[in-house]
Amino acid sequence: MKKYLLTLILLAIISLTARSQYSGLNIKELLRTDTTSIGQKIIYPDFADPEVTMLKITIPPGKSTGWHKHNIPVFAYVVKGVLTVELEDHQIKKFKEESTFAEVRDTYHNGSNMEDTDLVLIAIYMGGKGQKLSIPKEK
């Protein structure tokens, strides 16, 4: 009984310590998903030399990424503007400012800025050393 009571007290102390660690901070969950923006399951690749790359991408008005695909998981956050993504099947997805999403995998797509101001994205690539972040579509 004594051991049980000590365990409960220890768990209570750990819980209070964890909460106080973040006191005064404003934490907002931006994304929690197990699928891409079109419902594909998230799959983590197994690389001998894993590497995470984070890019800040600015797309001027009227410009686009060009048709490409990813064979690694990519997660994006729209800092400013609206991203319009066209998929191979002509499906259109729009991601507004402060939205997040898991990019499509092994599916060609083109991201465009159809607005009048710069589009700013943060993209996080879960790849491996020497691995391409995106694969351009051959014409």
* Residue 5, helix vs strand vs coil: helix
∠ Cα 43 47 50 (to 5°)? 95
Residue 28 main-chain phi, psi, to 5 deg: -125, 120
Question: Which pLDDT band holds residue 139 (cuts at 50, 70, 90)?
Answer: confident
Q: Give the model confidence (pLDDT) of 30-81 as tens digits.
A: 999 999 999 999 998 899 999 999 999 999 999 999 999 999 999 999 999 9
- Give 37's contacts (C-beta < 8 A, 6+ positions apart): 85, 93, 95, 101, 102, 103, 104
Is 0.75 topped by the overall pTM?
A: yes
Would you state the pLDDT for residue 1?
57
pLDDT value at 14 more than 70: no
Note whether 112 and 59 are within 8 A (CB).
yes
